Structure formats: C-alpha cells, structure tokens
Amino acid sequence: MRIKVVTDKRSGVCGGVSRAIKMIEREICNRNSRDIYVNGELLHNRLEMERLMDSGLKLEEDVEKIRSGVLFIRTHGVSKDVKRLAIENMNQVIDATCPKVSSSQKIIEDHYSSGYQIVIVGKEKHPEVKGLLGYCNFEGICILKNKDIDLIDMKKKTLLIAQTTVASERFEYFASLLKPKISDLKIANTICPFVEKRELELVQFAQEHDIVIFIGGKNSSNTKLMYDRFSAYNKRSYLVENKNEIDFTWFRENDLAGISGSASTPTWQIEEVKKVIEDHFNQ
C-alpha cells in the first residue's frame, strides 16, 4: 500500500515555549556545574521534557526545596509569593514566564489594586490560573461552567479576563452574559492569538487531507482544545503522543496523510512520526 505523507509547515511550538527552551538551553551550555531547575513541566510534552532533562535540566515543582543553582520560572508563570520565595532562596532566578502571561498578571494586579473584583475565565487548577490568582491575593473567581456565575457579585466593579488557552467562544459567552448585569465591567480578552490562529490553520489542514495525525500531550488543555476543534472537520483525525501510538490500520490506499502538532509539539517529533509512517508503507 502506498500513501503520501506531508507535515504541517505551520506547526511547531508557540513563541512563549520556544523562547523558554532557548533560554534554558543557553543556560545549560554555560552552567559551570551548577544545577538548573524548572518549577514544573515547561510544556505538556513528555518527550521534549525528557530531552531537556537528559541534557541536564531538573524538574522541581516545590520551589521551597531548591536552595542552590539556577531556577527557571516556567512559561505558565507563578504567583507573586512563589516568585518572592524563589528570589529569597536562590542565587539566580530566571523568569521564563511567557510575556503574554506576564501581561495578564499585570492587568490583574493593576485592577485588583484599584478595587476591581477579578473574574478569570479558565480552570482554577491550571498552572497559569494558579499563578494569576496570586496577583489578586487569591481572591479571584474562576468561571468555566454556567453555575460558576453565581460566585460573582454583580454589584462590584469587575475585571473579566481569560486564561490564555481558554476557548474563545467560552470567553465571549461570559462577556455577553455579564455585560448587561455589571455596570462597571472591564473586559480583557487575553486569549493567546497564536492558539486562535493555529485553530483556524488546523481546520484548513484537516480539510485538505484524507487522514490527520495530530501529535500532542494528552494532559495538555491546549492540545485537547485544538484537537476537539479541527477533528470535527475530518473524522479520520487521530491524537497521539508519540510515534509508538501510530496504528497502521488507520491508513488506506493512496491516502494523503497530514501530520501536525499542538502548540507544545516540537517539529522534530512531527518529522519523526512522518518517517515512521513513510518507512512502514513506502519502502
């Protein structure tokens, strides 16, 4: 059986993650025997994390346990308290928080100090949201389901802000729901444009191919969101974490197969999956 396999030229990790990986790789090259830590998975991609850890990066979520070496704050950011603690304990703290997340932190901090109630459309337990809550003294309200609206005091002046990877319809839905109810409502749509752009590109990619193999971490909300969206446009879309999860019975004679990935899938993994499929069918 012969098939044609093409990779999605627009795929690859987002700017925030790529920036953090470059910062860490540079530090690993110059480390002079110092330990280099990151306070949690830099990206939801096991293989890429393993690659970085094989080259010397150490993972330690509990910042209090790190007392020497260099600590990278991951792209999702951390609360002000955690950052302060890290700076007190460590010689060197390098902030690799994505600039888009830093901007959300600043918007929250400014509005909270001006007396605004903070409402975040996002998952309370997501690392980015946990960090954001630390910029409003953990008094922010997280909403994702309709019933969460009951937690909001409609009499208070309010900032409505988004987790960078939340679905845009969800955010717009809450914005239109709250507009008539809260007289002083500030709306900050902080959804990452990269994620939105990739969603549109993936829908197009899904429509252009007979079968789509999408590579991404199954614990990544970003991966799940993107996959859920574009797979509606191609019923033969499959989500895998790595080349070992490819099932060759998915493919049919003369298929045009497209390989793509989420915002946390490096291009080397996409090329690797392409090679495995080509080697199997087109020897």
Per rule CB under 6 A, is residue 206 in the interface with ligand SF4? no
With CB under 6 A as the contact rule, the residue among 42, 263, 270, 277 that binds ligand SF4 is 263
- 128 is an active site residue: yes
With CB under 6 A as the contact rule, the residue among 39, 45, 75, 79 that binds ligand SF4 is 75
Which position's Cβ is nearest ligand SF4?
16
What is the DSSP code (8-state) at residue 68? S
Of 121, 104, 126, residue with least CA distance to 160: 121
Rounded CA Rg of the chain: 21
Round to whole Å and give the CA distance between 177 and 183.
12
- List of residues 6+ apart from 274 with CB closer than 8 A: 5, 6, 7, 259
Per rule CB under 6 A, is residue 129 in the interface with ligand SF4? no
Cβ nearer to ligand SF4, comparing 178 with 266: 266
With CB under 6 A as the contact rule, the residue among 66, 71, 73, 98 that binds ligand SF4 is 98
Round to whole Å and give the CA distance between 42 and 162.
20
Per rule CB under 6 A, is residue 16 in the interface with ligand SF4? yes
* Interaction pattern, residues 26-65, with ligand SF4; x per rule: CB under 6 A: ----------------------------------------
Rounded to a whole number of angstroms, the minimum distance from the CB of residue 244 to ligand SF4 is 26
- List of residues 6+ apart from 44 with CB closer than 8 A: 216, 217, 219, 220, 222, 223, 264
Strand, helix or coil at 213? strand
Pick the piece of the chain touching ligand SF4 (CB under 6 A) from 34-42, 177-185, 188-196, 265-273.
188-196
- From the list 27, 41, 128, 241, the catalytic residue is 128
Catalytic residues: 128
